[in-house]
Structure formats: structure tokens, C-alpha cells
Chains A and B, each alone.
Chain A
Amino acid sequence: MSLELHDVTVRYRQTHDGGEHVLLALDHVNLALRPGSVTALVGESGCGKTTLAKVIMGLLPDNAMQSGTVLLDGEPLPLSDENAMNKLRWRRVAMVFQNGGAGLHPIHTVLDQLVEPMRTHLGLPPEAAELRARRLLEQAGLPWNIAIRHPHELSGGQAQRCFLAMALALDPDYLLLDEPTSALDPGTRAFLLGRLRELRNEGKGILLITHDLGSTASLADDTKVMYLGNIMEEVAGSLLTKEARHPYSRGLVRAFPGMFATRELGGLRGEPLLRITHAHAPSEASHHHADTGVEHAPADGCLFLPRCTQACPDCASGKIALTGTPGSGLRCVRGGIVPFLELKNIRKRYTSAFALHDIQLRVMAGETFCLVGETGSGKSTLAKIVAGELEADSGTALLDGSPLDYKRRRRQLAAKIGFVAQNPLLAVSPRLTVFDIAAEPLRIQFPDLPRFELERQVLAGFCEVRLPGTPDFLKLYAHELNAGALQRLCIARALMTRPALLVADEPTSSLDPSVQAKILRMLLELQTERGLTMLFVTHDFGVARKIADHIGVMHDGRLVETGTTRQILTHPTHGHTRFLLSCARGGNTQGE
């Protein structure tokens, strides 16, 4: 008993400026719906979610070319036979379209539209059909009097629920829902999700196509993440309850404003592309196509490559397959989000006392790791060791898989790691002007950079941190700047060589909240755009909450607890974490 898609490929033939090209909408998709379970299909608009539902319903438009098979309980669906399909539609498989109201017939009342299929398909007598319609509307949370209305007299949410009632009229085994909750208010949405849960428990197989990761969190038994017609990641459960493994999935989660998301909203860089497989267009036309700014996805290698921030040369070629066990597959050459910074058994001893005991730490690429703790807990020491200002006594540190060897590769590493030291006034030379301070990393890394290029890059960097680039400002000395400008100068300097890792030690401590907000948003924006990985030292849980993916709590030179921001904030396990959190919440300093 299942509804299975095997190697389903769908192409749309499209004409464009006199030429014709083929758009690949689904690329060898395998998927199975099982009775009594909810499969969620998530992904950006245009990734092929709706096409997939239309394949199952046999409702693809005429310009679609389809290959692969759809098996319903082991039997292939008679996709070419319209009559046979009509028998299956609504009885075995029903679909609720994206804007349900548009699927209702405008001149019939709701009741007529509910009763009609029951009578023609099931042959129910009018009274029985009406009774059943009444119950369906009730179950959809609608009052009975709605039955005599016309579709234009319904609100969007009501129309959506009417459509759901219609889809259930013939008691199908499989239900396909395209964005069922996106137009609904929270109350109605909760009601509808409850209804779907009931339907699942009754044994229906549900395909939930949605942008709303929140509704998948409470409902989905497994989740498929789609991008440009490919399933990129399969998750048992929901994306929100599991940690995303694919950079694309992480981008979706970061962009989703869920109730438990504390981090500023992020997302994915760039726009979704189109997969044009072969254009039969004259060459001028394809040029023109390029001029319109629509970019094409790469024909070879990873589809997500142009938008991925951790791409490596291997990603650019070959066919990338969905690997891993069924139900938890992943389509990524690098095996998902890679660890960018790994610290193992890092120890540091100052003359009198231990500063760090056996620190184990892993920061994933494109992620913010916040080190939180009291003064003297070893946060800055750890940051300095990563940035190369201090040497650890023992332990290993890996950056992107290769050892963090400051003795031999200091300059190369410096280009990859930007460091914002704790005290901005001391961290800049009193003898240098603002321009020279900001240009220093460039001068070290590229001694032959011409002056105009140096100026261009410095000004671009200042623009990012909202510092003025006026000639007067560039000539100032550090002591003539206020604390906020100085701190931004230090951040601009740390980002000047476009590092992959930013180690920042209390970088916003002397900023007023409005400037701090701008800087933090700027850093997160860089994270989205360039995949900037951040090791962020702060004593401020409020800041950590807004920017961190993971938080590590330090106490007496030990990393006592690490976890996702949500875990640490909602279920701290270590007593010291609870103590710090209660202090941060402004109350009880007794802990617990």
C-alpha cells in the first residue's frame, strides 16, 4: 500500500522570443507516500513542488513532457488514459490546490459542489450526500450555513476549507495539499493542522507541499527538501526539529520566521535559477535571454553551486547523487555542511593557572558560534588562539580540514581569518590614519596593490560597516574617533581581506544598540552572501540569541556546554548555563 514515484522527470517546452527551450522541472524524483503518514515537500518557489503533485494527479499542462512511473499500490497510474484517471482522481487521490477558492465553481453553491461528486461517483442518494457534506463542512470547522453560499461570498480561508471538504468528499486514500495553510490565520491554521493530523491517524497518506516549515514541524513524518527539481535532502521528521545538513536546507530554516527562531532572519544568497536543458533557439535569442538577467543553473555538477557558500572544486563537475540511507538522503559532494573550524583538546596555561582545559569545539561553515561566559572564563584566550595571537600549549586546531599552522603559514591564514580584538582603541596604531589602519591587511597580503585599488577596497569596506568614506574622515587618527566608529573601523579592517572566518572578541561591546543592530545585521548579511563563519565572543546572551546558530558556554577555562541556540536557551543542562541565563534575564542571581 503506497503511492510511489520512480524516476519521474518533467520537462516543460516553452517558447521564448521566437525560440524554444526546454525547462527541466523535475529531475528523476523518487518519492513514496505511505498510508498514515505525512510527507512534507518544502523548497523555494519554482523548485517543482506543485509540478510533482500535478504529476500524481495527471494534471500536467500540454507543454509538459513526462517520463518515469507513478505506482499506486504497485499498479502504474494510467496517466495517458483520461477516463481511467478520472476514476482515480478524487476517489483514490485528491488534491487541494494552492488557492483553494479558485478551484471552486463560481456559479454553484458550496453544497451543490460537495454533493455532486458524491452522487455521481459514489451514487449516494441526495439525503445521504447532504448529510455527509454537512459532516465534512463541520469537520473542516465551517458552520452549516456556509453550504448555501456561493464561492464569492466566502473568505479566502473559508474557501480553502471548503475545498478541503470537497477533496475529502470521496474519502480518498491519498491527499495532496498545496500550501494549505499559507492563507490562513493562526487559529484556522491550527484547526486545519489538527484536522490533517486526524486524517493521518485515520490512515490517509498525505503529501504536504508548503513553505511553512512551522506546520511541517508539528505534522511531518518525513520531509523532502527540493531545489530545482531535485530532492536535496531527506529528513525524518521536520527541518525545524532536526539540524539541517544541506546548506540549502539551512538557508530555508534561517529564512523561516518560526516562533522558536531567535536568530535574525537570514536566507540564501542569490535567486533560484532556471534549468534550461537545451534551447532550440537561434543564437541571438539565447543571447537576448542572457541579457534579461535570467541565469541558468549549471548543467554539470551541483545545482546549488552558484548559491552555495561552501563550494569546492569537486562540486563543479559530475552528477551529484542523493546518498545516504533511504529517508535521510543528502545530495552534497561535501557531505553536507562541513565543519570549518575544529579545536581538539586545546590547552593553555598561563604562568600561574590554567586558562583553558581541553577545549573541544566545532564551528560549521557559514555558521555563527557564540562563546558566552563570564570575564576570566577563557573566552578571549580561546579567540586569540584561533586568531593566532596566542599559541596553545597542546591540542590541535583545524581550519577547513587543514592544520592551523601559524608558525609556517601565518600570512596565508591571516587572509582567511579576520580578528576583531577586544579593545578597539588599543588594537589600532595611534600613529596611523583611519585609511592606513584599514588598508593594513591589504598592504600585508597584497604589497603590490596600486593605491587606487587600495582606496576602492577600503571605501567598499567602510560602506559595509556604515563608516563615512569622506577624505576628511580617512585622514583622522584613531584617538579622534568615537568608540562606535573605532569599533566599526576594527570590524572593517578584520573583513578587509574577505576572510572566511571572523573571530570577534566582544566586537559590539562599545556600540550603542542602534549601531550594534546595524553591525550585527551586516555580519549576518555577510554570512548569507559569503558564507562567513563566525566565532563570536560575547558576555551578552541577548546578542548571542540574535546571531548564534550554536552557543558554547565557558566557565573556568572549560567549555561546559555547547548546543544549538534554541537548546541552550530553552533547555540548558549545565548549572552554570542556567545561572548565566537567569542573570541575563535580569532576575535571580542565586541560580537555578
Chain B
Amino acid sequence: MPAESFSLRRDPWFLFAAIVGGTLLLAATAGPFLAPYDPYDISFTVLEAPSAKHWLGVNDGGMDIFSELLTALRNTIMFGLLAGMAGTGLAVFAGVFSALRQGVTGLMLMRLADMLLAIPSIMPLVLLAALFQPPPSLMALALALFLWAGPSRLINAQARMLVTAPHILAARQMGGSLWYLLRRHLVPEIYPIALIVLASRLRAAMFMEASLAFLGLMDPARKSLGSMIGYGLKYYFLDIWSNWLLPPIVCLSLLIMSATLLAMRMEKRMDPRLQNLS
């Protein structure tokens, strides 16, 4: 078989996703410097149409929509990353731990995951938001407590297969310690799945953040892609969809799409077995 190594640098899908995701991330990171105005400045003409001064016009509160979009993007990505990474971390830990300790502890952990799966995560979050109005970072961590359950079962299945796989047994036979096996075999083997999980959790978290904000359950003053859509929708009868509604929707879609594509293409790179299948 030719050993033509699969290179991410030559993969159009990966490049596309990397450019889109990178641009969005850059926009979010550099938001405060790029924004022409303070997003909380309410001194502009309400509902002004897009112009050279205000690229995306002005919203009902007299704020510059472009500046607002940059801040919202930043908030949504931050929330997504925090919740997604925490959720993925929990999923990997729970999945691998219960595969290694297939006793009562492991069993209980997996049953807990089953229970959590049965509860629609939006309900407790709505309650939490309504009752305690926690800051966004706490909301993200609370969300992570629900995000791990589904993928932990996936990772557990994979890890269970791995701990009895002959090549892992061989490494153990060679005298590899648990730490060695984790570092050298289990984690690298689970890494591609963890990436997909991360992508799906990022997507879920960003979507959840947008939903909660859309529903007005987050701090109403906090900028978010969801709250922007929510406010914009109130004025759908005016001609604002192209400058007020569409930009956050497109941003949200691109974010989720690029995260998914990146993970998929990287997974292909991680697993040499898939390389010759394209």
C-alpha cells in the first residue's frame, strides 16, 4: 500500500473549516479592538439602517449592531468552550474510569449517566437560571454537568474495548504501568473520539447558550448571539432581518459547522486506518 501520508494542509474541508472558525475566533478575540463603538453605547439613532458609520445599523436600544455582534460572538464562544471542554473532560474521565474499574464504582457512574440522559437538560437549567441568576461561567459549568452523560457512554464503550484489546494487553504484558497505558495508549486512542465529543459538546453548549439567552433566561444586559436574535425577532415586521437577524444566525451556524468539520477531518488524520479510505 502506498504510504502517501494524509496531510491536513492539503485537505480542502479542513482548510475551509479552519479559516472560517479561525476568522470567527479571531473576530471574537480581537472584538474590543475591532469594534468601532462601545457595544453598550446607546447614544445612536434607534433602528437606523446600515450605513458607512454603522455597518449593520443600530438596534432598538440605540446600540451599534456590529459592535454588539462582536461582543456576542465572544461571549457565546467563551461559554461554549468552557461548557464544552468541561463536559468533554467529565465524559472522558467517567468513560475511561468506569472501563478501568469495572466494579461497583464504574457501574454506578454509568447508571448516573443513564439517569442524566433521561432528564432534558434545558429544564433544570431554566430553573437554575430563573431561581439563582448565576453568572455565565457558573451556568456553563452547570451545563457541563448535563453534557457529559451521553458521550461518556460512547467513550466507555470504546475504552472497554481498548482495555481488553490485545495490543493494550501486550503493552501491559511488557510491563507498562497504568499511567504508561493511559498516556501512551488509552488517551491517544480515545483522543479522536474526544475530539468529536468536544465538537458536539461545543455545538450543544453554544446552542444552549443561544437558546437560554434567546428565552431571556440569561442576564438581559449580556450580549449573546441568542439574545440578539431574540431582540431582533420583536421587530421582524420592520425591514431589519438582513442587518440585525441574519448576522447572528449566520455566525452561530458557521461556528457550529466549522467546529464539526474540524473535528471530523482531524479524526481522519488521527486514525491511520481511515487514511486510505478517502
Contacts and interface: CB of A to CB of B under 8 A. Distances in A.
Interface of A: 387-389, 410-415, 419, 421, 423, 426-431, 440-441, 443-445, 472, 475-477, 479-480
A428 B180 contact: no
A411 B175 contact: yes
B36 interface: no
Given A410-B175, A476-B3, A480-B3, A426 B167 contact: yes
The residue among B170, B174, B270 with the most chain A CB atoms within 10 A of its own CB is: B174
B185 A444 contact: no
A393 to B, nearest CB: 19
B3 A430 contact: no
B3 A475 contact: yes
A174 B157 CA distance: 82
Contacts of B180: 444
A580 to B, nearest CB: 27
A476 B1 CA distance: 10
B268 to A, nearest CB: 13
Given A430-B273, A480-B1, A444 B167 contact: no
B175 A479 contact: no
A388 B188 contact: no
A419 B169 CA distance: 11
A413 B174 CA distance: 9
Give the 4 A-B residue pairs with the shortest CB-CB distance, closest first: A414-B175, A411-B175, A426-B166, A429-B167
Give the dominant DSSP class at B's interface: helix
Interface residues of B, number: 24
Contact of B167 (A411, A415, A427): A427
Nearest to B5: A475
B124 interface: no
B175 A431 contact: no
A421 B1 contact: no
A414 B173 contact: yes
B175 A428 contact: no
B171 interface: yes
Given A388-B173, A389-B173, A414-B174, A429 B185 contact: yes
19 contacts: A389-B169, A414-B174, A421-B166, A423-B166, A426-B167, A427-B170, A428-B167, A429-B168, A429-B185, A430-B271, A440-B184, A441-B175, A443-B184, A444-B180, A445-B175, A479-B1, A479-B272, A479-B273, A480-B1
B174 A441 contact: yes
B165 interface: yes
B271 A389 contact: no
B223 to A, nearest CB: 43
Interface string B203-226: 000000000000000000000000
Given A440-B176, A479-B273, 13 more contacts: A387-B173, A410-B172, A414-B175, A421-B166, A423-B166, A426-B167, A427-B166, A427-B170, A429-B189, A431-B189, A440-B184, A444-B171, A479-B1
A480 B166 CA distance: 18
Contacts of B171: 429, 440, 444
B194 to A, nearest CB: 14
Contacts of B176: 440, 444
Contacts of A443: 184
Interface in B1-21: 1, 3
Nearest to B169: A389
Given A429-B185, A431-B188, A444 B273 contact: no
A458 to B, nearest CB: 14
B177 interface: yes
A480 B4 CA distance: 11
Contact of B170 (A412, A421, A472): A421
Interface string B150-191: 000000000000000111111111111100100011001100
B1 to A, nearest CB: 5
A444 B175 contact: yes
B175 A430 contact: no
Contacts of A411: 175, 177
B164 to A, nearest CB: 10
Nearest to B189: A431
B213 to A, nearest CB: 41
